[in-house]
Amino acid sequence: MSIILITGASSGIGRLTARTLAAAGHTVYATMRDPVGGNAAAAADLIAYGDTQPGELRVVELDVTSQSSADAAVARVVDEAGGLDVVVQNAGHLYIGYVEAFTAADLTRLLDINAVGAHRVNRAALPHLRRQRSGVLIWVGSTIPVTTPPFLGPYVASKAAFDSLAVVTSYEVSQFGIETTIVMPGAIPQGTDHFSGASHASDDGVTAQYGELDPLVARTHAAHDDLFAPGTTADPQDVADEIARVLALPVGAKPFRTVVDAAHAGVDHVVAFADLTREAFVRRLGFAETLALKR
């Protein structure tokens, strides 16, 4: 069984993944902001659930926008559990609105949470994984850089940055025995806080100038619901189950990408071809060894 750190575990995919992995017998550190304040109920729920499972489920504070917070969280895991095997990069936030109406500060903030935040956690965790020359990075990305729907511009950009960071990081860490899997959920309009907790553009003046499009923006959530057959929707538990499946695979057998998409948008075909093209280019550059796990 593995020692696992999960970011953004107070709700949605992160919470379900923590529960699923604890039920599978792993030692899970579910991290979140403010577990004794704003997220106290979520933390208590996870701890209570963990008490009934074969694995261990502990809650640790981690704010991905702070390097010192990431460092402290990883240090606690290593001190308490004696090591770290898996990092599940799941923390994220959603913006809805007109691209022009998001200020530079808005866009910078979302990139900081959704992309730079993962990098901070890696900078805290990778020294331990490199030292032991083993480990797994699970990146919970999205199909959205491929599907690119309207009115979610900053989010699309941030998840594209997250995906690219995962790919380029994988070349380097593979040479230290560290595996990478990018899990790409499709649209999940129910069962997470993404839509209900979404932020909006700061520039109200520009937003007002796009007012004739407001009816389209207003139906963003409903439009994603309408992707599914009547009576069905995407279940975030399916993503948690896929993460558990991937982690159960032997070393060297984990997929580089896996798509979990109840909307059947065809993203799996697009990314499969894109990765083949990318890998061929890396080989032409003479860096083929970075595509293989060094063991």
* pLDDT interval class at 230 (50, 70, 90): confident
Q: Left, alpha or beta for 264 (phi > 0: left; psi -120 to 50: alpha)? A: left
Whether 14 shows a pLDDT value over 90: the answer reads yes
- What pLDDT is recorded for position 40? 97
Round the CA-based radius of gyration of the chain to a whole number and report it.
Answer: 19
Higher pLDDT, 83 or 222: 83
CATH for 247: 3.40.50.720
Instruction: Answer yes or no: is pLDDT of 77 > 80.
Output: yes
Structure tokens at 295: 């063991």
261 contacts: CB under 8 Å, gap ≥ 6: 143, 184, 185, 186, 187, 234, 267, 268
For residue 44, what are its two tokens? 């208590």
* pLDDT at residue 250, rounded to an integer: 97
Q: What is the average per-residue pLDDT within 178-207?
A: 90
Based on the structure, what is the number of domains in the chain?
1
User: Which residues form the catalytic set?
Assistant: 155
Average pLDDT for 11-27: 98
What pLDDT digit, counting tens, does each position of 253-294 carry?
Answer: 999 999 999 999 999 999 999 999 999 999 999 999 999 999
The residue-averaged pLDDT of 69-80 equals 98
Report percent pLDDT > 70 for the chain. 100
What is the pLDDT at residue 246? 98
- pLDDT at site 225: 86
Is residue 271 classed as helix, strand or coil in its secondary structure? helix
Domain that holds residue 210: 3-291
CB atoms within 10 A of CB 12: 22
